[in-house]
Amino acid sequence: MESKEHISWRMSRVRGKNTAPELSVRRLIYSMGYRYRLHCKEIRGKPDLVFKSRQKAIFVHGCFWHAHDDENCKIAHMPKSNSAYWRAKLERNAARDAEIQRTLNDAAWRYLVLWECQLNDQERLAATLQTFLGPLRPEAILVDHT
């Protein structure tokens, strides 16, 4: 069993931005030709990717940290030790996420939540992103002049 100090150290290493799942989504979206802004402070919840001209935002949620409730998700689980603390923390995270989503809806923004466990199927993810973001704008399409 790990010591409390080791667990605390490990948890302090968890990042809120530029996580591996987020970077994976960013690379895919960029390769599809879309351009975006990162973590816009003026938009409630500081979405991971923001498409201002489309009024759309994408959140890349870690299944554990955001309490993914899909029964097929193998990542989200409740820790066995200190479970009361973790249950309260994860419930607060989920409540905050719901409040952010309500705020975005009220502001006429559309948002997409991508869960960490959904990122393995890149073809399906690309189709989901294409449907959500819509067609590329003509000025965004790169032309090869070779």
Token output for 83: 């479970």
Domain boundaries, given as residue ranges, for the chain: 10-134
Fold of the domain built from segment(s) 10-134: Endonuclease; Chain A (3.40.960)
pTM: 0.84
d(CA 124, CA 128) in angstroms, rounded, equals 6
CA neighbor of 27 nearest in space, from 53, 56, 48 = 48
pLDDT score for 75: 87
CA neighbor of 104 nearest in space, from 41, 66, 56 = 56
Summarize pLDDT for 47-66 with one digit per residue, the tens.
Answer: 999 999 999 999 999 999 89
Q: Is pLDDT of 71 > 80? A: yes
CA neighbor of 116 nearest in space, from 72, 55, 50 = 72
First to last CA, the chain: 60
- What percent of the chain is helix, strand and coil (3-state, nearest 5)? 45, 10, 45
